[in-house]
């Protein structure tokens, strides 16, 4: 049996953290949906920068747009190229959306990372993109910043699907889950609104591991490669408390679905760790793992499935407590990760716009 399909049997959806024009035009995404059980696609500015800025796949489309609309701004050019890809991906995944009655089959498109600290701007851009893409299985990505949380609530209340991103801590998760309850509670049709809470994993280890190495003690080194997973297990435990408990029951009675936790940043950054570590150790019902192509291929080849998210939760709590005993403040480190995460999306977004400006100027000269 395909090892990726075993994740589905465990109640976990697999989404592809990647988008590019040839993935859509050559039937590769359709094959992943058909053969590997992929049920969603996520994108972000870094992915689009690689797809549009570092290949010639979009040059013909860029020429076409400029021929018909020569005065297009750089942002307009980017958005037109991105929207075309998002629509195509959404159409490939439409059968999944239909057969799951709107529970899966989503494609995510991010608001500008420059709006991460702008609630009103985020809401306005999300609504505009929702109308422009015009696909029922679109999810708008909104960061879990202090300014993004009220935007999340407002968008859910108006019936727009939201992928809440850049979550690194239990505090981030708590704020997002509570905003989901409020927003869906205000929605006219709660059962027609979907959302995922994107919790980042490997970046936590990338931040913490060097500090553990600098400490050098046996207790510190024993925690290397464990905090990202422990942190995630505690978030999932909180998910179960909220969505399997009394807090969600009234909304469930109105047809609302739980907000699934989505594991993001699940490629292994440290070559000393197993290349499917952040998939194998985060498997559980009502979750999503969004993986880049290389991680998807690795799991298909040698991944092992088991209900790992509910294993050793007490040990996960112990690992986080041991980190504090070493004087490392996980809450402060995860706040820093979120700030860095916003910047890591701003930089490729701006680089992409600069690349498009250069291509536009070259075409105008030609």
Residue numbers annotated as active site:
141
∠ CA 161-162-167 to the nearest 5 degrees?
160
3-state helix, strand and coil shares in percent for the chain, rounded to the nearest 5: 60, 10, 30
H or E element at residue 252: helix 249-253
- CA 330 – CA 23 distance, rounded (Å): 38
The string of DSSP codes covering 164-204 is EEEE-SHHHHHHHHHHHHHHHHHSSSGGG--EEEEEE-HHH
Which residue, 18, 44, 154, is CA-closest to 110? 44
Which residues are CB-contacts of 6 (< 8 A; sequence separation ≥ 6)? 303, 305
Which residue, 215, 216, 169, is CA-closest to 328? 215
Classify residue 7 as exposed, middle or buried by CB count within 10 Å of its CB (0-12, 13-18, 19+): buried
DSSP 48: H
């Amino acid at each position: 049996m395909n090892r990726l399909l075993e994740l589905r049997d465990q109640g976990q959806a697999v989404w592809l953290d990647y988008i590019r024009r040839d993935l859509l035009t050559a039937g590769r995404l359709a094959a992943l949906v058909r053969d590997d059980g992929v049920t969603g696609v996520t994108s972000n500015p870094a992915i689009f920068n690689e797809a549009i800025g570092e290949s010639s796949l979009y040059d013909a489309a860029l020429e076409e747009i400029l021929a018909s609309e020569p005065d297009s701004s750089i942002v307009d050019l980017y958005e037109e190229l991105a929207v075309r890809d998002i629509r195509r991906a959404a159409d490939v995944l439409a059968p999944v959306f239909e057969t799951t009655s709107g529970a899966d089959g989503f494609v995510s498109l991010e608001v500008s990372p420059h709006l991460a600290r702008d609630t009103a701007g985020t809401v306005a851009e999300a609504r505009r993109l929702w109308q422009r893409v015009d696909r029922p299985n679109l999810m708008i990505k909104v960061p879990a910043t202090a300014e993004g949380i009220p935007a999340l609530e407002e968008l859910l209340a108006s019936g727009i699907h939201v992928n809440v991103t850049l979550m690194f801590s239990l505090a981030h998760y708590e704020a997002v889950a509570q905003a989901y309850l409020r927003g869906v509670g205000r929605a006219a049709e709660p059962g027609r609104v979907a959302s995922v809470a994107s919790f980042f994993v490997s970046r936590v280890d990338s931040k913490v591991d060097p500090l553990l190495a600098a400490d050098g003690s046996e207790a510190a080194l024993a925690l290397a490669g464990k905090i990202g997973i422990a942190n995630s297990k505690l978030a999932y435990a909180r998910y179960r408390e909220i969505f399997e408990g009394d807090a969600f029951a009234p909304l469930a009675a109105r047809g609302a679905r739980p907000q699934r936790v989505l594991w993001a940043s699940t490629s292994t950054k440290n070559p000393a760790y197993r290349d499917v570590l952040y998939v194998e150790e985060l498997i559980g019902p009502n979750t999503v793992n969004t993986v880049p192509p290389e991680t998807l291929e690795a799991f298909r080849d040698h991944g092992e499935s088991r209900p790992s998210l509910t294993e050793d939760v007490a040990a996960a709590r112990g690992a986080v407590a041991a980190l504090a005993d070493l004087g490392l403040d996980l809450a402060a480190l995860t706040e820093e990760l979120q700030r860095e995460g916003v910047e890591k999306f701003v930089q490729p977004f701006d680089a992409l716009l600069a690349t498009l400006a250069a291509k536009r100027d070259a075409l105008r000269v030609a």
